C-alpha cells in the first residue's frame, strides 16, 4: 500500500495542472512505483 501522504501530495499537484499534462506529471513523479502509476491510485482519482 502506498504512503497516503505521498499519494495525496502527488494528487494535489496533478490536480493543479491542465488535464493534458496530468498523465505525464504522474508518470514522471511516480517513477517505477506501480502502485502510484495511472490506472491505480492517482490515475483513478484524476479520471473522476
Rounded to an integer, what is the distance from CA 5 to the centroid of its chain? Answer: 12
Confidence bin at 12 (pLDDT 50/70/90):
very high
Look at residue 20 in the predicted model and tell me its pLDDT.
93
What whole-number distance in Å separates Cα of residue 45 and Cα of residue 9? 13
Yes or no: say if 35 and 41 are a contact pair by the CB < 8 Å rule. yes
Model pTM score: 0.67
Q: Where are the domains of the chain?
A: 4-47
Look at residue 32 in the predicted model and tell me its pLDDT.
85
Amino acid at each position: 500500500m502506498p504512503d497516503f501522504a505521498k499519494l495525496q501530495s502527488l494528487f494535489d499537484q496533478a490536480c493543479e495542472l491542465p488535464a493534458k499534462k496530468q498523465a505525464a506529471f504522474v508518470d514522471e513523479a511516480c517513477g517505477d512505483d506501480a502502485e502510484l502509476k495511472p490506472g491505480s491510485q492517482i490515475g483513478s482519482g484524476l479520471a473522476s
